[in-house]
A and B are shown apart, each in its own frame.
Chain A
Amino acid sequence: MWLADGATGPTWNVIADIQQLWSFPFMVNAFRAGTIIAVASAVMGWFMVLRRQTFAGHTLALVGFPGAAGATLIGVSATYGYFAFCVGAALVIAAIPRAGEGSYGHESAVTGTVQAFALACGFLFIALYKGFLNGVNALLFGTFLGITDTEVVVLLVVTVVVLVVLAVIGRPLLFVSIDPVVAEARGIPVRLVSTAFLILLGAAVAEASQITGTLLVFALLVMPAAAAQTLTARPVVSLALTVVIAVLVTWAGLSAAYYSVYPIGFFVSTLAFAVYLVAQLARGADRLRSGRARRVTAS
């Protein structure tokens, strides 16, 4: 069950393997799109993990599913459906006024309801669009097939815009993320910065959904960032590390998915989780060692 005629299993000759991978235009497009997506989602994911907005990111991703299913239903490229719905949902989440500390439970009930209802709408679109069963798995769990040149250009333009805007609001955003009260006192428009961040996050999530699928965006958004932030506390270093991890995981996932029947979402999420686990273990070992050293010097 190979994907294309002439494709065989991987050999030990890595150069030849890569040449063979890239002899197919769809694989070249997949690598281009994958790299663009990995960079965008790594950078946005880094800020998301820093701001502990994982639940919001997850909700944005799930809202992308009815967007993509609806786009398929009316016959447009799923890319536009993802962007329209994810950015729209980001605006809605930003518009909900943030109440006091005690109402966290209510707020998460609202978020939970929004995402469950969004998924139900996606399911309705699928039920209306009959004979779409394999498409469902692709939307939910990712695919790297059939990415067109136009879609690569759209992804590139969106990523450049996202990164430029992020570069502009990067410093105040970092300030707001780390200490919102002091930032507000220093005259930084906290609400505006937070809203802008959510919109950028919506765009990044919409991008990531196209490689990993709606359900597995965390593989590119959360895990590389979580692993990098575990390893180092210095912002610039961990940001760079996040991008490197995300790109490598995406490339490895694409290659593995090419040679097997299993969907790319499985490979990307498993590889990213392995990196995260190794990072956690490394920190654990490091702590153990420094703890013992401290005890030795103390005694």
Chain B
Amino acid sequence: MSAILHTGLIDGPFSHPFFVNALITGTAIALACGLVGYFLVLRAQVFTSDALSHVAFTGALAALAFGIDLRIGLFTLTIAIALLMGAVGRRGQADDVVIGSIFAWVLGLGVFFLTLYTTSRSTGNGAAGVNVLFGSIFGISTADAQLATIIAAAVCLLLVLIARPLLFATLDAAVAAARGVPVRFLGFAFLVLVAAASAEATQAVGALLLLGLLATPAGTAQRLTARPYLALSLSAVIAVIDVWIGLGLSYAVPVLPPSFAILAVSTAGFAIVLAIPAVRSRLPDRSRLTVS
């Protein structure tokens, strides 16, 4: 096993363009997801991103069915539905039942487009649905990798720019509003960033598995530290490490699909952190959030 890992990781992977592309894209996407995911967990909007991940499936399949670029459908539909969810809910947060009803129907629509695509287009392949659902990071081309990196960088930059007011608005919306922070606008802006990150992650780990990149590293980071900015950066770092180990693992053991390997690593990390509350209790008490 160690021999396989050695030859597999040191000599092999970087000579393949597909692996290098996957690594670059995966890193960029993980950074964006880690940062966005931290606020997602803090704001208790995990269910919203769950719904957006299903919407991403429909967006991609609709684009395929109409024969346009997959990413156009992906980004347009996720951002549109994110804004819709913000609009129907109070303070930019929608009700669970409304979210559930909308995304179940949108997903049903996705199945319709999937059938339309596989039966009517001569170029259609039956694996398209599975690829969108479960990701195909090893199939990303160099041009796709560049575009995905640029978009991920933009998401990261925007999030860092609004991080401070967003944190304030998340922790105490009433006081933030009184101090002149545009709480509602920030809620919408954040939802748009979540949608963009979801659309990005769909290309890497697939629509169904992107919660593993959005919620899991953030949950892990929040267990490790209660200091907001430290947890925010930790969440991004953990996401990147998860993707790196996952990709390496999938390369070394070809039977493991890359998206499964990435999720297995992130889940294992979360499980370890959850299992050691005893260790944490011996550390100095940092259970109170401090905004410095």
Contacts and interface: CB of A to CB of B under 8 A. Distances in A.
A112 B100 CA distance: 15
Contact of A123 (B100, B211, B223, B260): B260
- State the main secondary structure of chain B at its contact with A: helix
B187 interface: no
16 contacts: A54-B100, A58-B100, A62-B208, A113-B267, A115-B211, A116-B211, A123-B260, A128-B255, A133-B126, A136-B130, A141-B108, A218-B101, A219-B108, A222-B104, A223-B105, A268-B108
A61 B208 CA distance: 13
B260 A265 contact: no
Contacts of B49: 112
B263 A120 contact: yes
Interface in A32-62: 49, 52, 54-55, 58, 62
Given A120-B134, A216-B107, A268-B108, 19 more contacts: A52-B97, A105-B46, A108-B44, A108-B46, A109-B215, A109-B218, A113-B216, A115-B211, A116-B208, A124-B257, A133-B127, A218-B103, A223-B101, A266-B109, A267-B108, A269-B104, A270-B105, A272-B104, A273-B102
A226 interface: yes
Interface string A97-128: 00000001110111111011101110110111
B111 interface: yes
Given A119-B208, A273-B105, A265 B259 contact: no
A121 to B, nearest CB: 7
Contacts, number: 176
Question: Which secondary structure characterizes the binding site on chain A?
Answer: helix
Contacts of B126: 133-134
Contact of B209 (A58, A116, A226): A116
B71 interface: no
B270 interface: yes
A113 B255 CA distance: 23
Contacts of A215: 54, 104, 107, 208
Contact of B100 (A109, A116, A218): A218
